[in-house]
Amino acid sequence: MTLTAAPLPKPSPADVAVRSLFTDPAVPADPYPVYRVLRDTAPVHRSMTGHWVLSRHADIDAVLRCAGAGKSLEAFIAGQQVPDWRRHESFTRMLDHLIWLNPPRHTRLRQLLGSVLTPRAVARYEPQIQARVAELLDPLAGGGDVDLLDVLAFPLPVAVIGTMLGVPCEDWPIFRRLVRDVTLCVEPSPTADQLALADAAARELNAYFDALIAERRARPRDDMISMLVAAEIDGESLTEGELSSLVQFLFGAGFETTTNLIGNGMLALLRQPDQLAALRAAPDLIAGAVEELLRFDASVQLTMRTAFEDLTVGDHVVPAGASMLLLLGSANRDPARYEDPDRVDVTRASVRPLSFSAGIHFCLGAALARLEGRVAFTELLRRFGRIELRKDAPRWKSNLTLHGLEELPVRLTPA
């Protein structure tokens, strides 16, 4: 008797798309074709690893605002299929992260920061941001060939958040690599090599910030770390874990994403010269243009939620306990929400990208990031009459979740 194995079911287009999203190193540079396949064929898709992958704007927006979904680091890691995750410092350091907490602790911690980062409070930093941009761009007044990430997109945001928190400026450069590496652990399916890099970076970051916090505890200054060391919730100080997590998260979230806004946004404009010209001709379009650039190529491509109860999403029931990956970058390109979504249009009306998320975890730094983006793009266009890309395909980082360029080589010609 001959036994013939039953043929394996053919993977669906969505299975193939998700596999490439999780494993193809070319995808972080341009995930949008993969998102299109998912939106068109299986917008609520249970992946082979167990994550539910959501790609439509309406579904993602609804889940972000829904009380039946929240945060569970453990459920997310189960979907990543990382065994024995407590061995990894990159994961354990996130246990107290604001972004992984649920109410009521989340609400209380957020209240601590709310007043510091409101649009009104942040507006006071505008002169300092202008001065920092001038300090960075004045030496380039004669133009020349530069990497825009090295000269502006990284040094501006790291200086802004570094100064607010009180992180010594001589140390800022090392954080470019450390934060890029540590965030590899929130990739949808990190490899062993990525986790090793993330863990090594986590160890360095923990040691650095523990020492800095101890120093501020001993000798407080007029900065946010000292403010958080002294802060109390219901008469109690933050735990050591909460304090270190909060400071590290604020610092990393404060620059990495904004670096990517300036880098990804400038690349998008350089690839659509008509839109660059439109913005040059009408600089007062800048606020809307920043929203459009945030939409077009979001610096946070995905976030996670866990179903706390059975949730009906589209035509599916996502069972309680399941981890969902919400593809914010795909929501922003959903043709059901935006006409001609794959084009930048700096005059587009009613752009409200999900790039800063929505609901109770809406980005606390949105006002600051928008302000930095406005100042950076305005000054670049005002000072340089021509900005040309020197490489058709600049290198991207291997991260998909925190999506940004590794380099942006340009030629600047003064106005």
**Contacts with ligand HEM, residue ranges (CB under 6 A):** 98-99, 110, 117, 161, 250, 253-254, 257-258, 261, 299-300, 303, 355-357, 361, 363-365, 368-369
Q: Which amino acid is at 23?
A: T
Q: Say what the alpha-carbon torsion angle 308, 312, 315, 316 is, to the nearest 10 degrees.
A: 30
- Peptide bond before 103: cis, by omega within 30 degrees of 0? no
Q: Which is nearer to ligand HEM, 250 or 405 (CB)?
A: 250
Buried b / exposed e along 258-290 (16+ C-beta atoms within 10 A):
bbbbbbbbbbbbbebeebbebbeeeeebbebbb
Q: Are 62 and 312 in contact (CB under 8 A)?
A: no
Q: Which is nearer to ligand HEM, 47 or 259 (CB)?
A: 259
- Strand ranges, E, within 119-276: 144-147, 232-233, 236-237
Residue nearest to ligand HEM according to CB distances in the complex: 365
CB of 330 to ligand HEM, least distance (A): 14
CB of 272 to ligand HEM, least distance (A): 19
Region for 304 from its dihedrals, namely left if φ exceeds 0, alpha if ψ lies in -120 to 50, beta otherwise: beta
CB of 287 to ligand HEM, least distance (A): 14
Residue closest to 396 by CA, chosen among 8, 7, 12, 29: 29
CB of 329 to ligand HEM, least distance (A): 10
CB of 402 to ligand HEM, least distance (A): 9
Q: Which is nearer to ligand HEM, 37 or 79 (CB)?
A: 79
CB of 157 to ligand HEM, least distance (A): 7
Q: Which is nearer to ligand HEM, 98 or 387 (CB)?
A: 98
CB of 363 to ligand HEM, least distance (A): 3
CB of 108 to ligand HEM, least distance (A): 11
Residue with the two structure tokens 């917008």:
43
Q: Which is nearer to ligand HEM, 98 or 195 (CB)?
A: 98
Q: Which is nearer to ligand HEM, 14 or 64 (CB)?
A: 64
Q: Which run of H or of E encompasses 200?
A: helix 192-218
Residue closest to 183 by CA, chosen among 25, 399, 397: 399
Q: Are 149 and 411 in contact (CB under 8 A)?
A: no
Q: Please give the backbone phi and psi of residue 99, each rounded to the nearest 5 degrees, phi first.
A: -70, -15
Q: Which is nearer to ligand HEM, 263 or 341 (CB)?
A: 263
Q: Which is nearer to ligand HEM, 37 or 149 (CB)?
A: 149
Residue closest to 245 by CA, chosen among 70, 71, 109, 400: 109
CB of 300 to ligand HEM, least distance (A): 4
Cα angle 91, 92, 96; round to 5: 105
Q: Which is nearer to ligand HEM, 37 or 305 (CB)?
A: 305
